[in-house]
Copies of this chain bind each other. A is one copy, B any other.
């Protein structure tokens, strides 16, 4: 069941029902503009990652500032975007299941879509789906440049897959997917720089080896909010896939030399119990996933969110909120937090300005 929106346009922020996913529109728009300004001189394009926001409304706002399209991780996310008017979508991930590939091929009739592969068997499945749908699908080879997750090793193994794609009658070789996820949250800036320098060398070599076989990499995609300046400045990547920059979170704020963006995403919570030395909020780890740690309390430097159960979060320290008072929390990790909510509540100047659906909420398939 879809949850009803926790607010209506025109309400004051303190009237919003809790827990709610707040989007500070001034900070959000600042971030959109800042990324566009940072990338413009590099000549590298933005293909923002929709795994973060899951919203065609936000995708189209990114594209209005120059983004060439969107990335997604799941076919369900691609559907929500394409159905919401997003014209160019890359699944920056492998898709193996025939049902999912059939859905992706169906989307290729209303949007430009591409997908990644890292095995011969995976390529064969995409070829089958494209043939069955009577169209051609664009496929990128994902290379592992240090994340140790999906991706074939750079160099000859990647080139072999590129050739296999190019030789498939219903596939188009689209380039390389080269994302170093583990580099994004390394705390020291020099460590992030070194990891991306290594990834750049691996990627450059693979692009060159493809070129020697007559295979042009139209897209070389990768990068995230923690490292994008390195990829954009390398001359190797053509598209930056940052997602979190629009929202930010407590984990990115812990990086030394953190990314130059403002915190725009909050969970609004209410104090539902005040007992000796603690205030208990109505937002626990169902409202604020813990994979990157506890949230921070906005505007109350002496108060700390120190424990979470399913539906409760406990604050201790100085300047605790009174019973019934509402506080803005900065999520530990923006992506999974957004995915807990059905609605963004857009706020500006203390008032609710808009409600946007988290259209691909729960879209894991």
A interface residue numbers (CB < 8 A to B): 1-3, 6, 17-19, 51, 73-74, 76, 80, 93-97, 99-100, 118-119, 121-122, 125, 144, 148-152, 181, 270-275, 278, 280, 282-283, 285-287, 289-291, 308-312, 314, 323-324, 335-336, 339-342, 357, 359-365
Contact = CB atoms under 8 A, between A and B. Distances in A.
B73 A310 contact: yes
A97 to B, nearest CB: 6
B73 A311 contact: yes
Contacts of A336: 285-286, 289, 310
B150 A272 contact: yes
A256 to B, nearest CB: 22
Contact of A280 (B150, B274, B278, B365): B150
A342 B360 CA distance: 12
A94 B270 contact: no
Contact of A323 (B119, B289, B308): B119
A1 B360 contact: yes
B274 A1 contact: no
A122 B322 CA distance: 12
A208 to B, nearest CB: 23
Nearest to A280: B150
B285 A97 contact: no
20 contacts: A1-B2, A1-B359, A1-B361, A2-B2, A3-B364, A17-B97, A51-B310, A96-B282, A96-B323, A118-B273, A119-B273, A119-B274, A122-B323, A150-B275, A152-B275, A285-B336, A289-B290, A291-B308, A310-B336, A311-B364
Contacts of A121: 323-324
* Majority secondary structure, A binding face: loop
A340 to B, nearest CB: 7
Given A19-B364, A144-B275, A314 B149 contact: yes
A336 B285 CA distance: 8
B270 A96 contact: yes
Nearest to A323: B121
In the A-B complex, the 3 residue pairs with the smallest Cβ-Cβ separation, listed nearest first, are A150-B273, A73-B311, A94-B272
A186 to B, nearest CB: 15
Q: Which of A94, A125, A357 has the most CB of B within 10 A?
A: A94
Nearest to A357: B1
Nearest to A77: B311
Contacts of A359: 1
B275 A18 contact: no
A362 B335 contact: no
Given A51-B310, A96-B282, A122-B323, 11 more contacts: A1-B2, A1-B360, A51-B311, A94-B272, A94-B280, A119-B273, A125-B324, A150-B273, A285-B336, A289-B291, A290-B290
